[in-house]
Amino acid sequence: MLYRDFGKTNEKVSVLGFGCMRLPVIEDDPTRIDEEKAVDMIRYSIDHGVNFLDTAYPYHGLGLEHAGASEPLVAKVLKDGYRDKVKIATKLPIWMLKTREDMEMYLNEQLKRLEVDCIDYYMIHGINRIFWENLKKLGFEDFLDEAIADGKIKHAGFSFHHRIDLFKEVVDHYNWSFCLIQYNYLDEDYQAGKERLKYAYDKGLGIAVMEPLRGGQLASNIPPGVQELFDESDMKRSPAEWALRWVWNHPEVSVVLSGMGTMEQLEENLKIAEEALPNSLTDSELKTVDQAKSIFEAKLQINCTSCGYCLPCPSGVNIPENFHKYNNYYLFGSPEEIEMYKFSYYALVMENERASKCIECGICEEHCTQDIEIIKELKKVKELYESN
């Protein structure tokens, strides 16, 4: 395993981190983690050099308003001496904060759920303009300072999905040690991704990257044109390896968080990480990725990564699945195949989860990390699949 410096923490982290958001589950129920498989996988990754575990309060839960099963699962991973081998990262659910005391309450709850005395990397989770103003009003700066002084957290950081102007404001507002941003070859320019990366790095922050495979979109079921492009390259790599190596090619990046749901994915990522050196891709290889990006951009309709932050929908709409089915048609289908795609939609998306059930309440848009106009896009899904 290779390691890189992690900004102001003055610590070294493995280039591959284990993201505990998409763990193996039982019967496709995200709230029911297959604990035996998950613990075995995460410990296997640690035994092979991974020293960064990333989780959050709602991961593997019913939605953003509930505590999920991920943090307690990590607590089980850390037993038997594994706590001393890794750094733990988790996040404060800022959308649930109403008072200054709430911050302390959630942190204490997370310490108990993780069964630790100190969290290595504690993040303000998913800052956007609305939550940012409330955070400042509640005095998050004093909360973080006190948590560090009391030994409850070691380093303070934030995760971010919003625009570059707010990002710079957040970076400059507090003495952060690190940040977590979305970055992959499809999102190099989205919300000024590359500019965010450079800005935070120049300010001395450690950079952790989420969604390197864009929720799996850059690893599986990729458009035929992209696969043909990779097949024609002199360097034979899987789509996942092309995507991961592109992120790791950036010297500013310290650790890449990958949500690995199977042992096969984990083993592949561990192998790829062995060659994750900065500035190691040739001009020809970078050109191949740029060409793949162009093919994707020409076909992708809705910029959804299936993160699930928009759920639960009050009327039951499975927003990520609707968008996934919509994108699949434009990525792989043709007008002659629309009936086949409609059949798949009706067969695999339950009636109460379909786009037509949207009541346009807008709650989902408040939580969307990609700033998608969800109501507008669901109407397009309805028009494609549910119209006569």
Is the bond leading into 312 cis (omega within 30 degrees of zero)? yes
330 shares a domain with 249: no
pLDDT of residue 300: 84
CATH number at residue 60: 3.20.20.100
Q: Averaged over 101-130, what is the pLDDT?
A: 95
CA distance 9 to 79: 25
What is 183-199 written as a DSSP string?
Answer: --TTSSSGGGHHHHHHH
Residue 162, pLDDT above cutoff 90: no
| pLDDT per residue as tens digits for the range 208-266 | 999 899 878 888 878 889 999 999 999 999 999 999 999 999 999 999 999 898 999 99
279 shares a domain with 204: yes
pLDDT of residue 222: 85
CA distance 70 to 58: 8
355 shares a domain with 258: no
- Tokens matching residue 218: 């850059």
326 shares a domain with 209: no
- Of the candidates 76, 165, 96, 152, the residue with the CA atom closest to the CA atom of residue 121: 152
Count of the separate structural domains present in the chain: 2
Q: For residue 307, is it within any domain? A: no
Q: For residue 333, is it within any domain? A: yes
124 shares a domain with 250: yes
344 shares a domain with 228: no
Q: For residue 314, is it within any domain? A: no
Top mean pLDDT of 102-116, 296-310, 331-345 is at 102-116
Q: For residue 309, is it within any domain? A: no
Q: Would you place residue 164 in the very low, low, confident or very high pLDDT band (cuts 50, 70, 90)?
A: confident
- Tokens matching residue 108: 């204490």
CA distance 293 to 115: 42
Tell me which of 233, 266, 298 is where a domain ends: 298
- Tokens matching residue 288: 């191949």
Q: For residue 51, is it within any domain? A: yes
Q: For residue 311, is it within any domain? A: no
CA distance 138 to 140: 6
- Of the candidates 32, 14, 11, the residue with the CA atom closest to the CA atom of residue 23: 32
Q: For residue 306, is it within any domain? A: no
330 shares a domain with 238: no
CA distance 305 to 287: 24
Half-sphere exposure of 93 (CA within 13 A, CB side): 23
Q: For residue 12, is it within any domain? A: yes
Please identify which residue in the block is written with the tokens 């019967």: 27
137 shares a domain with 30: yes
323 shares a domain with 252: no
Please identify which residue in the block is written with the tokens 């992120």: 247
Q: CA torsion sign, 376 to 377 to 378 to 384?
A: positive
350 shares a domain with 267: no
Q: Averaged over 365-384, what is the pLDDT?
A: 93
292 shares a domain with 368: no
Tell me which of 263, 298, 333 is where a domain ends: 298
pTM: 0.84
Structural domain harbouring 76: 3-298
Tell me which of 266, 298, 330 is where a domain ends: 298
351 shares a domain with 284: no
| pLDDT per residue as tens digits for the range 56-111 | 999 998 877 788 999 999 999 999 999 999 999 999 999 999 999 999 999 999 99
